[in-house]
Every structure is written in structure tokens, then in C-alpha cells.
Structure 1
Amino acid sequence: MSAPLRLVLFDVDGTLVDSQGSIVAAMTASFDALALPVPDRQAILCIVGLSLPNAMAQLASQHSAADQHRLVEGYKDAYHAHRLEQGAASSPLYPGARQVIEALHAVPEVLLGVATGKSQRGLDALIEAHELERYFVTRQVADHHPSKPHPSMIDTARAETGVDAAATAMIGDTRFDMDMAKAAGVVGIGVAWGYHDRSALTAAARVIETFDQLPQALDDIWT
């Protein structure tokens, strides 16, 4: 009898890749273009993981909806330009990420996916830059879902793969990821190297310190 399928979903920014340089630079450019005060770095990193309109609504809550829309479009343009200029270097993989992805992918019953606040264009470009196309069987992005922590991304990934909630894990660095996992009824594993402080990951079943701890954490949870 074959083993039951498992689904491991990864957040991207702050979990798989360290994109904070590009995020802060693009956010700074978008506010500068409208001559608006730029939020500080920590405020910017605190909204990573939210869909861009939701993130901007928090960062620019004192500004009009029209200005928030302009900020969103300015951010998209600046981020895209930064990625074209720097390629994969704009969002390097965290140490151990590729090795763990390859190891999990090699297990026949384990399926890998992505659930991210990035756009489809942004995710596809990042996956191509790092040559990760063959690893992720489901890719959920902000274009097609409510913002995290709504469970829609996880629910859709499970529907696409046919994996039960009890056999699904969400890996992420923010409270939005862990709250999304809880809302979807799946286990959340927090990572300590991302953009939210460990203390914010209260909904996580556990928090790992390095990527190489992930396979054992999954084994412990599922066995």
C-alpha cells in the first residue's frame, strides 16, 4: 500500500528567499515618487506577507485611497525594475533552502507548493531565476485570493492536490502565515530567520531555527 500524500506549502518572502532589500527599496521608491514620508524599515517588514493593497492600506492609512493605489502601482514598477537589474541576487535563497526542497521533493508521497502574497508575475520570475520550476506542484498567489490570513490559498492548494488538512503543513515567517494555517485547519511551522519576531508566531505548532531542521519537524508532526 502506498503512503498517504503529504503537502508542504512554503511562504516565499522571508521564508524561502531574503527579499527585504528589494522590498524596502521598492517601497521607498514608491513613497518618494509621491513625495510622501517613507515608513521606517521595520514598519515595511511588518507588512510583508500581506497582499500589496492590504499592506499599503496599513503603511499609508493616513493617505487617500487614490494615493494608496498610486503607491501600489509605484511599488510594482520599482520592484520589477529592481528584479530585472539584479536577477536572482535581488532575492537570494536562504541557506539550506534548495537542499531541503530537493530532499523533500525526492520523497514520493510529499508534494510541494507555494502560498505567497507575491503576484503571479513576481513568483514566476523568482522561481525561474532560481531554477525551481520542477519542484512546486501548486502555486497560490495574491492575484487570485484574499490576503493572508484568509485560508483561501491553503484551501485551494489542498483542492488542487487532493491532500487532507491533517497531512498539510504551512511553512512561513510571519504571523499572517501561521494564522492562515490555523484558519485552514493545517499545521503551521514558523521559521526564525524571517521578518516577524519569533514572539509573533503564536499560532505555530513549532518554530525552527534553520532550514535543515524542517524535515525532522515534519516527521515529528506527522508520525
Structure 2
Amino acid sequence: MRLRAVIFDVDGTLVDSQLDILAAMSRAFEAEGLRAPRRESVLGIVGLSLDVAIPMLAPESDAQACSRMVQGYKDAYAEMRRAQGADVSSPMYSGAREALMRLQVQDDILIGVATGKSRRGLDKLIEAHELEGIFVSRQVADDHPSKPNPSMLFQAMRELGVEAGDCVMIGDTSFDMEMARAAGMRFIGVTWGYHDTARLADSDIVIDDFAQLDAALETIWSESLV
């Protein structure tokens, strides 16, 4: 049996966490006496690790201030998650759970995630949404350079025992797309996330709904056999 892997981004792809992301970033900046970045700017860096994203949003701030903002963001995000529950603060997109279930029952497909979240944040999210046992590989910001560095995907392939030609990355940002390309993987872009669709122009396929995922994967799998 030929094993294949489907690796998902999380924020903006499986769950919509933008309200907490925006609020946590605002708190982190305000604690430094800075004006919060615009919504478009914050969503534009979602997917990057915080130690890369915050200096981009605050180019005038020194390393110490950026470090404080990174921790301030983490603290604020964790506080909101505790107050609401991760299932409320980061709800799954329509059709996401069903798509994961359809993939899980296929013996030749392994499912993974590659996310800019911390391990703690991802674990809390998986627990809240009752997704334990779904993701065979979990790649997080704690263990890798920021996207679009392909380190996460190379490690996922090693763990899953699958070659790049048998893997597909699914995400909503250009960082996901560039990471997949750097790892030699095919890429499916989704339009419901945080980057404008124009930034996903180099995707193999772009989908507008999780109901289209199965057909998109089948198209990619069939092309890989030609």
C-alpha cells in the first residue's frame, strides 16, 4: 500500500482564531505604549513564528521590547483561551471536522499539522476540539525555524515515512505555500483564511470550501502517477 500524507496549517485553515490573535497583539503592543497594528498587518503575518512576526510589525522597537511583546502576546492569548475555552475562541471552520474524519478513515492517508503555534497552544486546541488521534505528526514553532523554512515539513516526512511527492500541504497563507514549495510538496490553498487569494497564485489548486478538498486531493494524487 502506497502511503500518502496530508499536512494542514492550523490558524486560518482548520480554525478561525483571528479575534484572539488581534486582541492578543493589541494587548502586547499597548503594554509597550505602542499603537496596535492594523488588522490587515496582523493577519498578514499569521503563520510566522512570533519572534519573526513581531519585529516585522514593530520595526522601530529593539530586541528587548520585541521579546517582551512576544511574551505579552503569549500571556494574553493564553488568558483569553482560559476564559472562553479554545473551542470557542478558535472555532473550527465549517466542514473542517468532517474533512478530517473522511481522511482519517482512509488506510493509505496519514494526517499531520505544521503550524506557527506553540506545542502547548496546539495541544490545547486539539483537546478542546476533541481531535486526539487525528494527527500522526505535529510540527510546531517550538521545534523549528519560522515558516516558510521547510524544516517542519522535512521532519513530518521523516516521522511519517512518506516522500515529498506523496505529500500535500494545505494552508491559507503564502508562507504555507512557500514552505511546501521549498520542501518539494504540492500545495492546496484555501480562500477562507487570512491571506488574500492573490497571494496564493502559485498553489497547485485553490479551494473555496472543505467540500472541495477530496476532489482536489484526488486530482493531485492522479497527476503524481502520470
- Is TM > 0.5 for Structure 1 vs Structure 2? yes
Residue in 2 aligned with 1:174? 173
Residue in 2 aligned with 1:34? 32
Cα distance per residue 1:125-167 (max 9 Å; x no partner): 0000000011000000000001000110000000001001111
Cα distance per residue 1:82-141 (max 9 Å; x no partner): 000111100000000000000000100000000000000100000000000110000000
Alignment of 1:212-223 (within 5 A): 212-223=211-222
Cα distance in 1 between the residues matched to 2:62 and 2:35: 14
Cα distance in 2 between the residues matched to 1:207 and 1:57: 30
Cα distance in 2 between the residues matched to 1:82 and 1:211: 28
Greater mean deviation of Cα atoms: 146-155 or 200-209: 200-209
Residue in 1 aligned with 2:118? 119
Specify every segment of 5 or more residues in structure 1 that has no aligned partner in the other structure, as ranges. Answer: none
Q: Does 1:53 align with 2:51?
A: yes
Residue in 1 aligned with 2:62? 64
Cα distance in 2 between the residues matched to 1:204 and 1:176: 12
TM-score normalised by L of structure 1: 0.98
Give the residue type in structure 2 aligned to 1:134. Answer: G
Cα distance in 1 between the residues matched to 2:107 and 2:177: 26
Task: Provide the aligned length of Structure 1 versus Structure 2.
Answer: 221
Cα distance per residue 1:9-64 (max 9 Å; x no partner): 00000000000000000001111111111101110000000001100010011111
User: Partner of 2:136: helix, strand, or coil?
Assistant: strand
Please tell me whether the aligned partners of residues 182 and 203 of structure 1 are also in contact (alpha carbons under 8 angstroms): no
Instruction: Give, in angstroms, the shift of residue 204 of structure 1.
Output: 1.0
Q: CA RMSD in A?
A: 0.6
Give the residue type in structure 1 aligned to 2:119. Answer: Q
TM-score normalised by L of structure 2: 0.97
Alignment of 1:92-131 (within 5 A): 92-131=91-130
Residue in 2 aligned with 1:139? 138
Cα distance in 1 between the residues matched to 2:59 and 2:189: 28
Cα distance in 2 between the residues matched to 1:134 and 1:216: 24
Cα distance in 2 between the residues matched to 1:15 and 1:151: 18
Please tell me whether the aligned partners of residues 158 and 165 of structure 1 are also in contact (alpha carbons under 8 angstroms): yes
Which of 8, 11, 29 is matched with 1:10 structurally? 8
Give the residue type in structure 1 aligned to 2:181. Answer: K
Instruction: Give, in angstroms, the shift of residue 217 of structure 1.
Output: 0.2
Instruction: Give, in angstroms, the shift of residue 66 of structure 1.
Output: 0.7
Please tell me whether the aligned partners of residues 189 and 208 of structure 1 are also in contact (alpha carbons under 8 angstroms): yes
- Give the 4+ runs in structure 1 shifted more than 3 A: none
Cα distance in 2 between the residues matched to 1:112 and 1:163: 11
Q: Alignment identity in percent? A: 56
